[in-house]
C-alpha cells in the first residue's frame, strides 16, 4: 500500500505523520523567527545609508538558508544532527555542544507546539488540499506570533503573501466563498485601522504598529 493510501485510509497514521512533519517545520520556523527580523534590520540600515548618500558596505550573505546556523554565544556551527527536532535538544541536555551555554526553551517549544497544531489540523480537516492550506496558514501564524513577541514586528514578507494566498484559495470555496473572504479581509483591516486611529487621537500615542493592519 502506498503512503498516500495509508494517509487517506488511516486517520491515526495521518495525524502522526503530519505531526512529525510539523516538528520538522517547527525547527525551520525557529530559523525564520530568528533570522527574518535581522534580515529586515539589515535592509533598513542599507536603505537609510543610501538615502543619506553614504557608501553602502557589502555585507556577507545572510538569509534564511545562508550561512549555517551557529550558537549565538560561541558561534559553533550547528551540525545537521543538532537540528533534529526535540531529540537533539534532549541528547545535548539543552546545552550547546561546544560552550555548554543553555539553549533557549523557546526552540523545543516552537517545535512541539507546531507539531501539536499540525496534528490537530490533520485531525480536523482530514487528508486533502484543505489540510495543506490550513497547515501553511498555521505555520505562518506560529512564525508571526513568535516574531511579534520578540520584536513587535509583523513582517510583510509573511503577512501579505498569506493574505493573497487566502483569497486565492477561496476563489473556489476552500474555507469559505470568495465574497465572504474579501469582506472578512476588508473588515479585519478596517476594524484594526479604526482602533489604531481612535487610540492615537485619544492618547496621542500609537497603540499598535502598521503591521497589525
Look up residue 183 and give its three cell numbers: 469582506
Which three cell numbers, joined as nine digits, stand for 16?
Answer: 502522526
Q: Is residue 97 part of a domain?
A: yes
* Model pLDDT for residues 87-125, shown as the tens digit of each residue: 999 999 899 988 999 999 999 999 999 999 999 999 999
Kindly state whether residue 158 falls inside one of the protein's structural domains: no
**Which helix (DSSP H) or strand (DSSP E) does residue 190 occupy?**
helix 178-203
148 found inside a domain: yes
Degrees (nearest 5) of the Cα angle 82, 95, 36?
60
Whether the model clears a pTM of 0.85, i.e. scores above it, the answer is: yes
Least Cα distance to 103 among 123, 67, 139, 78 occurs for 78
pLDDT digits (tens, 9 = 90+) for 90-99: 999 899 988 9
Domain annotation covers residue 129: yes
List the domain range (segments joined by +) for residue 127: 3-153
Cα–Cα distance between 3 and 124 in angstroms, integer? 20
Check: CB of residue 178 under 8 Å from CB of residue 166.
no
User: Considering the domain boundaries, does residue 28 fall inside one?
Assistant: yes
End-to-end CA distance of the chain: 47
Judge whether 77 lies within some domain. Answer: yes
Domain assignment present for residue 168? The answer is no
3-class SS at 92?
coil
Residue 187 in any domain: the answer is: no
Q: Is the pLDDT of residue 55 over 80?
A: no
Torsion of CA 27, 123, 134, 155, to 10 degrees: -40
Cβ neighbours, 10 Å, residue 168:
13
Does the structure show a pLDDT above 90 at 18?
A: yes
Contact 136, 165 (CB under 8 A): yes
If one counts the domains in the chain, the total is 1
What pLDDT is stored for residue 212 in this prediction? 63
Amino acid at each position: 500500500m502506498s503512503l498516500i493510501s495509508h494517509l487517506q485510509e488511516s486517520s491515526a497514521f495521518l495525524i502522526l505523520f503530519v505531526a512529525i512533519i510539523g516538528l520538522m517545520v517547527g525547527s525551520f520556523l525557529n530559523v525564520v523567527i530568528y533570522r527574518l527580523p535581522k534580515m529586515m534590520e539589515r535592509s533598513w540600515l542599507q536603505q537609510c545609508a543610501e538615502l543619506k548618500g553614504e557608501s553602502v558596505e557589502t555585507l556577507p550573505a545572510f538569509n534564511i538558508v545562508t550561512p549555517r546556523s551557529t550558537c549565538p554565544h560561541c558561534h559553533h556551527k550547528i551540525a545537521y544532527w543538532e537540528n533534529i527536532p526535540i531529540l537533539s535538544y534532549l541528547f545535548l541536555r539543552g546545552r550547546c555542544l561546544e560552550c555548554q551555554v543553555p539553549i533557549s526553551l523557546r526552540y523545543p517549544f516552537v517545535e512541539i507546539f507546531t507539531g501539536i497544531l499540525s496534528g490537530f489540523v490533520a485531525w480536523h480537516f482530514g487528508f486533502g488540499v484543505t489540510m495543506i492550506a490550513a497547515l501553511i496558514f498555521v505555520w505562518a501564524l506560529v512564525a508571526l506570533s513568535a516574531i511579534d513577541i520578540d520584536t513587535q514586528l509583523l513582517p510583510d514578507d509573511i503577512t501579505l503573501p498569506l493574505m493573497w494566498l487566502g483569497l486565492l484559495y477561496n476563489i473556489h470555496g476552500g474555507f469559505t466563498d470568495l465574497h465572504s473572504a474579501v469582506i472578512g479581509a476588508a473588515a479585519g483591516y478596517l476594524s484594526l485601522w479604526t482602533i489604531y486611529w481612535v487610540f492615537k487621537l485619544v492618547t496621542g500615542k500609537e497603540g499598535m504598529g502598521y503591521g497589525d493592519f
